Amino acid sequence: MQTGKAKRIKAMETIHVNSSCDEAFIHAVENESGENVSLCYQCGNCTAGCPYTDFYDIPVSQIMRLVQMGQRETVLSCRSIWLCATCESCTTRCPNNIDVATVMDVLRHMARRAGKNPEPQVKTFCDSFLASVKRHGRVFEAGLMASYMTKTGRILTDADLAPKVLPKGKLGFTPHNIVGKKEITEIFQRYNAEKNS
């Protein structure tokens, strides 16, 4: 059941900084994103502009703070990073020129690799989308919906839109396979091979 209300961070136990600050995590985030998280002076401008704050469990400026303090588990387990739309409000407005959106993206990559999945529907949509691209070379919208509905069991998703959309012919029922679709499949295969090596 989806909730519109975000949950604030639950009351935290004392953080033992010497032992819980994961320096390797901080370095990894900085290396993968190319950003220096020490530049953040916690002004909150990112949170102030982020339209998704309503849905986050941890606001984006606090995620930056948690990264600064190396709190890997808290950060990678949160929902916020899965609900970030990369709308670039934060990056555009950061007074310290930090590309916050890329940091969020990188944290999402890390959460995936760590097997986290607090927003299963979001992940499933994303995976179904990419599976469709891998197969056909272009997204097959109806196929994507079918795959999503099957995997999540939410078979009534957007059913209410059907009467309006279908008569307008906006949803094709056949995929647009491209000639070079094998090339796309190969890109994914090589990516997966690299990832697993």
Partner 1 sequence: MSSSLTFAYYPGCSGQGTSIEYDKSTRAVCKALGIELVDIPDWSCCGSSPAHTVDHILSAALSARNILQAEDMDVQGIITPCPSCLTNLKVASHRMRDEQFKEKVDDLLNEPCRNDLPIMSVLQVIYEKLGPKALAAKVTNPLKGLKLAPYYGCIMNRPPEVMDFDDCENPVAMDHLMEAVGAEVMPFPLKVECCGASFGVARNDVVTKLSGKLLDVAADCGAAAMVTACPLCQMNLDMRQDQINRANKSSHKMAVFYYTQLIGKALGLSDASLMLDKLCVDPGHLFREIETARTADAV
Partner 2 sequence: MKIGVFVCHCGSNIAGTVNVGSVAEEALKLPSVAFASDTMYACSEPGQDAIIEAIKEHRLDGVVVASCSPRMHEPTFRKTVERAGLNRYMFEMANIREHVSWIGKDKDANTRKAVDLVAMAVAKLTQDRELTPKTFDINKRVLVIGGGVAGIQAALDCADGGLEVVLVEKTSSIGGKMSKLDKTFPTVDCSSCILGPKMVDVAQHPNITLYASSEVADVKGYVGNFNVSINRKATYVDWAACTGCGLCMEKCPSKKSRDVFNEEIGTTTAINIPFPQAIPKKASIDPEFCLKLTKGKCGVCEKVCPTNAIRFEQKQETAEEAVGAIITATGYDLFDYTRYEEYGGGRYADVITSLQYERLLSASGPTGGHIKRPSDGKEPKDVVFIQCVGSRDKSVDRPYCSGFCCMYTAKQAILTKDHLPESQSYVFYMDIRAPGKLYDEFTRRAMEEYGTKYIRGRVAMVYPKGDKYIVRGADTLMGAQVEVEADLVVLAVGAEAAKGAPQLAEKLRISYDAYGFYMESHPKLRPVETNTAGVFLAGSCQGPKDIPTSVGQGSAAAAKVLALFSKDQLESDPQVSVVDIKRCVGCGKCIQTCPFGAIEEMDFRGMPKANVIETICQGCGICTSTCPQGAIQLQHFTDNQILAEVNAICQQTPAQNLK
Q: Which distant-in-sequence residues (6+ apart) come within 8 Å of 33 by Cβ?
A: 99, 102, 103, 105, 106
How far apart CA 153 and CA 146 sit, in angstroms, is 10
For the record, the structure tokens of 90 come out as 């934060």
Binding flag, residue 71, partner 2 (CB under 8 A): no
Closest C-alpha to 66, from 22, 113, 30: 22
Interface pick for partner 1 out of 11, 16, 23, 51 (rule CB under 8 A):
51
Task: Give CA torsion, residues 116, 121, 123, 128, to 10 deg.
Answer: 150
How far apart CA 187 and CA 134 sit, in angstroms, is 8
Binding flag, residue 7, partner 1 (CB under 8 A): no
Q: Which residue has the tokens 């387990």?
A: 77
Closer to partner 1 by CB, 69 or 139: give it: 139
* Residues 64 and 106: beta-carbon distance below 8 Å: no
Binding flag, residue 87, partner 1 (CB under 8 A): yes
- What is the smallest separation between the CB atom of 15 and partner 1, expressed in angstroms? 29
The amino acid at 33: S
Binding flag, residue 151, partner 1 (CB under 8 A): no
Site for partner 2 in 80-99 (CB under 8 A): 89, 93-97
Contacts with partner 2, residue ranges (CB under 8 A): 8-9, 41-50, 53-54, 59, 61-62, 89, 93-97
Contacts with partner 1, residue ranges (CB under 8 A): 2-4, 51-52, 54-55, 83, 85-89, 91-92, 99, 101, 105, 108-109, 112, 119, 121-122, 124-127, 129-130, 133, 137-139, 141, 145, 148, 157-158, 160-161, 164-165, 168-172, 176, 178-181, 183-184, 186-188, 190-191, 194-195
